Structure 1
């Protein structure tokens, strides 16, 4: 499986090295770091990686989560708690078929102190929660090990039907287009826009669009933009004609 593990703003080299080792244990090899707050090739990271040093040294660093997920088709965020108007996290077994059927899935883990924030989770189609006891806080490497195990080494059969969904970059571009359109037609305003877009994201992400479907939706949005612009032009022309008529003296 072409599975990427994305660590958002990791704080300590040791945790990054330990996460790389956990990935190697479970058969994952694509490590991506978003705005790390330390040197991921520090001696401590290399020491904690042990036999996963090669995996650690091949890790790619990105300035934003959006860029790290650009070529992924399914992104799974990790969280231990329910967040406001975001979809609730699900049990790994419920998501296993979805992840295994994807062509390029990603597992996203947050900073050690806080976990993923809402703006990060908004970029994930689904969220997963590892069942634990009352104390749900896991070390970063523990979380990587457990979630990778669930999706790479779990015993459930791989689904027969595979569906290649749109990449996250395609979906993010579509959501940006949707937000522009909502503002254009007065569907939302600056105060409500983020909440409204979250609801649309949740609904459209469940559809698991492929690339052609995302382009189809954007074609609809372009038509809305054109129609609004055309109506504005027609209105302006009508007002100009009325003004000309009003200024013409009677014979």
Structure 2
């Protein structure tokens, strides 16, 4: 297996509620063109193994057959350490600045990661965007901004492949962590471990009155941004969850 194949093997393409079988087949085809193998469907609204999808996949039918189907986005991200969500929204509508593919996609290459695409008719919701640590926006003409799902996947997977096989001063520097001085034993937490921490934290903050149900989502979004910048390790997440449990226990003793 070549270096590029080994590196791209870390990355799964996640399609959230895809509605068009032709799009699904086209996505499988372009993934195989670019050397990606792992495709995940979240609650698909079409038949990913139907005849139309297989027609469009051509020689990539094996990717459709091996694709994982799950009910929720957190399930699709299980085992991943990093995730980038694609969006067509402008910066003023997002909590985190989106970056073009060539700049941000190399961030996925070092560990098990996911590249998330939303439904064709609406894109990713605010809640779905919360599960990613970085946002990607493909620069397009102001005259017509909307890209077809398969076209968007083609652009991103092409740039992933280029990030591996080319380097040099003419390429934009990839996004890096400004605080990325980590101990040698640093093992990044997986996204499902971090999500479990967020769920536990939200329940605790609701219990102590720091959060209120009608504002919890907005405040948790800010807390997610804070923790996402920290590049938490498995041991750090375990420590934070231990703190949450101890506080909950103490609260139960003083009631």
Q: Is TM (by shorter chain) over 0.5?
A: yes
Secondary structure of 2:109's aligned partner: helix
Q: Name whichever of 149-158 and 86-95 sits farther off.
A: 149-158
Secondary structure of 1:4's aligned partner: strand
CA distance in structure 2 between the partners assigned to 1:113 and 1:187 by the alignment:
36
- Asked whether the equivalents of residues 41 and 57 of structure 1 are also in contact (C-alpha less than 8 Å), the reply is yes
Q: CA 1:230–1:94 in 2, change beyond 3 Å: closer, same or farther?
A: farther
**Counterpart in the other structure of 1:245:** none
**Counterpart in the other structure of 1:36:** 44
**Counterpart in the other structure of 1:115:** 123
Match of residue 225, structure 2, among 202, 208, 218: 202
**Counterpart in the other structure of 2:193:** 170
CA distance in structure 1 between the partners assigned to 2:56 and 2:35 by the alignment:
17
1:188 paired to 2:211: yes
1:14 paired to 2:22: yes
Secondary structure of 2:145's aligned partner: coil
- Asked whether the equivalents of residues 75 and 105 of structure 1 are also in contact (C-alpha less than 8 Å), the reply is yes
Q: How does 1:98-177 map to 2 (within 5 A)?
A: 98-101=107-110, 103-134=111-142, 135-154=144-163, 155-156=166-167, 164-177=187-200
Which one has the largest radius of gyration? 1
- Asked whether the equivalents of residues 86 and 122 of structure 1 are also in contact (C-alpha less than 8 Å), the reply is no
Secondary structure of 2:116's aligned partner: strand
Query: Offset of 1:85 from its aligned partner?
Result: 5.4
Match of residue 35, structure 2, among 27, 30, 53: 27
Unaligned runs of 5+ in 1: 233-251
- Asked whether the equivalents of residues 26 and 153 of structure 1 are also in contact (C-alpha less than 8 Å), the reply is no
CA distance in structure 2 between the partners assigned to 1:156 and 1:197 by the alignment:
38
CA distance in structure 2 between the partners assigned to 1:74 and 1:98 by the alignment:
8
Secondary structure of 1:51's aligned partner: helix
CA distance in structure 2 between the partners assigned to 1:97 and 1:58 by the alignment:
25
1:52 paired to 2:60: yes
CA distance in structure 1 between the partners assigned to 2:246 and 2:81 by the alignment:
26
**Counterpart in the other structure of 1:238:** none
- Asked whether the equivalents of residues 11 and 109 of structure 2 are also in contact (C-alpha less than 8 Å), the reply is no
1:91 paired to 2:100: yes
Q: How many residues align?
A: 230
Q: CA 1:156–1:217 in 2, change beyond 3 Å: closer, same or farther?
A: farther
Q: Name whichever of 13-22 and 223-232 sits farther off.
A: 223-232
Secondary structure of 1:229's aligned partner: helix
Q: Name whichever of 92-101 and 132-141 sits farther off.
A: 92-101
CA distance in structure 2 between the partners assigned to 1:65 and 1:198 by the alignment:
17
**Counterpart in the other structure of 2:171:** none
Q: Which runs of 4+ in 1 moved over 3 A?
A: 82-85, 156-159, 161-164
